[in-house]
Structure 1
């Protein structure tokens, strides 16, 4: 698994893809989404801790953003477990 150091924090390629997608995403007024659910928040918090990436959790995410981060963290954890 490759990683890069950004602001003193090691960031894996999966996390870099999530960061890049966040920078590209533009939300138009007619595309405003709902905030993430409590279940998503709990899942994202536990996965971010398990993947040693607590900064992937943010309380103000939309449901779609939370789904993307959850999928990325699950993929990263599965990759790490495969070694």
Structure 2
């Protein structure tokens, strides 16, 4: 059985915009602080997309939480 999805232009454009939209100022500040706290300054870059910044923030938070658990 094959499932057909209905094409939703609004959802597609919103997702595409999120992938290409530059990170917010708040994301930039948080990412910079977390990268310094995790001793990984290379994780911060000014030209990241919003989605890449969110991914890096999530990864750094998990690494810091893991390190704090020891």
How many equivalent residue pairs?
Answer: 54
Aligned residue for 2:24?
A: 37
Aligned residue for 1:20?
A: none
Q: Where in structure 1 are there 5+ consecutive unaligned residues?
A: 1-30
Q: Where in structure 2 are there 5+ consecutive unaligned residues?
A: 1-15
**Structure 1 ranges of 4+ moved more than 3 A:** none
SS in structure 2 at match of 1:66: helix
Deviation at 1:33? 1.3
CA distance in 1, matches of 2:27, 2:58: 11
Q: Which of 34, 51, 72 is 2:59 aligned to?
A: 72
Residue 62 (1) aligns with residue 49 (2): yes
Deviations 1:17-57 (A, max 9, x none): xxxxxxxxxxxxxx451000000000000000000000000
Aligned residue for 2:68?
A: 81
Aligned residue for 1:28?
A: none
CA distance in 2, matches of 1:51, 1:59: 18
State TM-score, norm by structure 2.
0.73
